[in-house]
Amino acid sequence: MHITLRQLQVFLAVARTQSTTQGAKELALSQSAVSSALQELETQLDAKLFERAGKRLILNENSRMLYPYALALLEQGKEIERLFLGGRCTLNLGASSTIGNYLLPALLTRYQQHNPKVQLTLQVANTRDIIQALSNFDVDIGFIEGPCQQADLEACPWLQDELVLFARAGHPLAGKRLSLSQLAEAQWILRESGSGTREVIEHQLLPQLGQLDVMLELGDSEAIKQAVRHSDGISCLSRRVVEEAIAAGLLTELHTALPPLQRTLYLVRHKQKHTSTGLERFLQACQEELGSEPPFPG
């Protein structure tokens, strides 16, 4: 058996695009060259790798099994190239909104200053979408705002985060110690379903209140802050998100008899994802930010 890296590269491109035509465009090859390489790979493996659904090529059990191994081999090939290119590499990161917008920019800037040959890309979405991107091998590492129970992924605690209730300055509820009934009767402006912040509210706050009167659902924390500033709605976001606005007197923290809303932020990776040298170094930087045990020990 003589499987080549080119065959594996073609397989991955077709798997990503679900098309030999689009895979050929991605690799700047002719469609006939892509079809030929894919056929040769299937012949050498004595296995069919795709099922046809109209013009789409759908992964089957064989291709799903091959995908992480093919990806790992190509990444190891790139590492060999980097040995002779001065250590240049690219890391594709994914982060849920709060982490991507308020925590990672400073960390990534510091890391890139000390590692100028590393190119960093960051995809920011809600927790559910980042988990999906990790499952699809679209990102190398993910940062999410809650635990992940997906079997193909491995999660490691990273940082602790506190959520706070807040309203506009001068809100009728400001300066009071609020009861559960007052919170239940208030109008709420919340993050969308699928976000880590919304999950904390539903799991820690909703059981105490029984119900929430949700007047708006927004997919961006900045939009929520602005909506709260210009309405009588209240909300709940990470302290990191609202602390500057509270200090500036634009928003006010609301106080209740409830215990603090705490959550753990997690680093997540695919269990079958090859961990490159560049990714290991980046994880070390995340450990320094954490100041605790190394991410993904062992």
5: pLDDT strictly greater than 70? yes
- Assigned domain for 298 exists: no
Percent of the chain with pLDDT over 70: 94
The pLDDT, as a whole number, for residue 69 is: 86
What value does the mean pLDDT of the chain take?
Answer: 88
172-224 pLDDT, tens per residue?
A: 999 999 999 999 999 999 998 888 889 889 888 888 888 889 999 998 999 99
The pLDDT, as a whole number, for residue 298 is: 52
The pLDDT, as a whole number, for residue 148 is: 87
The pLDDT, as a whole number, for residue 252 is: 97
Report the relative pairing of strands 56-59 and 255-256 from DSSP bridges.
unpaired
The CATH number of whichever domain residue 66 belongs to comes to 1.10.10.10
The pLDDT, as a whole number, for residue 83 is: 61
Choice among 113-122, 271-280, 286-295 with the minimum mean pLDDT: 286-295
User: Among 179, 285, 198, 184, which residue's Cα sits nearest to residue 238?
Assistant: 198
265: pLDDT strictly greater than 70? yes
189 in Cβ contact with 231 (< 8 Å): yes
User: Which residue range forms the structural domain that includes residue 216?
Assistant: 161-263
The pLDDT, as a whole number, for residue 165 is: 96
The CATH number of whichever domain residue 256 belongs to comes to 3.40.190.290
Q: Where does a domain end: 52, 68, 83? A: 83
* 96 shares a domain with 18: no
SS3 236: strand
* 148 shares a domain with 93: yes
* Amino acid of residue 158: W
Percent of the chain with pLDDT over 90: 39
The CATH number of whichever domain residue 134 belongs to comes to 3.40.190.10
- Assigned domain for 9 exists: yes
* 40 shares a domain with 75: yes
* 149 shares a domain with 34: no
- Assigned domain for 155 exists: yes
One-character DSSP codes across 60-119: -HHHHHHHHHHHHHHHHHHHHHHHTTTT-EEEEEEEEHHIIIIIHHHHHHHHHHH-TTEE
Instruction: Give the end-to-end CA distance of the chain in Å, rounded to a whole number.
Output: 33
54-112 pLDDT, tens per residue?
A: 888 988 999 888 988 888 888 887 777 666 565 577 899 999 989 999 999 988 998 88
* 175 shares a domain with 102: no
